[in-house]
Amino acid sequence: MKNQMILLTFLSFGIPLKAATTYEVPLDENRQDLKPFSEITMTKAKMILKDGKVQLDYELPEELTGHKVRMKFESTKDVQGASFSLDGSTGLGTCEERPLEAGIYDCEMGYNREDLQVKPVDVKKLLEKSYSDLEEITARTEVSEIFFNEARGFIRGIRLKVKQD
C-alpha cells in the first residue's frame, strides 16, 4: 500500500519514472505480428554530452547478433537544439529529443551490414537457451534476420547525460 502511495505521488506531481532504454527493429506493415518481439530492453547504453559533442556508446542486443557487438557514435558537430546527427565507423544516426521529456531521446541508427557481424547459428543457440516457447524463438529469429537485412534500428528513451569537466 505504501509503495502504491509513493507511485501515485510521483505521478500526481509529474515526476517521471525511469523508463528502460529499448532497441527496436523496424518492421514492414505486413510483419506487425512480430512487434512484441521487435522491442528489446538495452542493458548497456549511454549517451553523454561533453564539450559540445554527444557520444553514444552501446551494445546491440545479443539476441539480434548472437554475440556482443559494441557501437560507438559521436555527433558530427556541436550539439545545439533538440536534434543532432551522429557518425561512427559502423554507420550513421540521428537523434531527436522527445517533446515534453527533456533530456530523453529517440535515435534512428543505420549500419554498414558487414560491421554487424550477425551470426545466425549463435542467435539461434542464444534464443533456444533463453526462451522455451518454439513460436517465440521462431519470431525472435525472424526479427534478427530482418535486423541483419535492413541494417537499421531505433534506440528509444535514452537519457542524455551532461558531463562536466
Reported as a pLDDT band with limits 50, 70 and 90, residue 111 is: very high
Reported as a pLDDT band with limits 50, 70 and 90, residue 117 is: confident
For helices 134-150 and 120-130, the axis angle rounded to 10 degrees is 150
Q: What digits encode the pLDDT tens for the residues 57-105?
A: 999 999 999 999 999 999 987 777 789 999 999 999 999 999 999 899 9
pLDDT at 11: 40
First-last CA distance in the chain: 43
In what helix (H) or strand (E) does residue 58 lie, and over which residues does it extend?
strand 53-60
Q: Which amino acid is at 156?
A: R
Query: What contacts 49, CB < 8 A, 6 or more positions away?
Result: 79, 160, 161, 162, 163
pLDDT at 147: 96
- Predicted TM-score (pTM) of the model is 0.85
pLDDT at 96: 96
- The angle at the Cα of 114, spanning 24 to 28, to the nearest 5 degrees, equals 35
pLDDT at 164: 76
- Beta bridge partners of residue 104, listed in sequence order: 159
The domains of the chain are located at 17-162
DSSP letter at 67? S
Q: Work out the average pLDDT over 124-149.
A: 96
Integer Cα distance of 158 and 165 in angstroms: 22
- Beta bridge partners of residue 24, listed in sequence order: 39, 154
Mean model confidence pLDDT for the chain: 88
Reported as a pLDDT band with limits 50, 70 and 90, residue 165 is: low
pLDDT at 18: 55
Query: What contacts 84, CB < 8 A, 6 or more positions away?
Result: 54, 75, 76, 77, 94, 95
Q: What digits encode the pLDDT tens for the residues 137-152?
A: 999 999 999 999 999 9
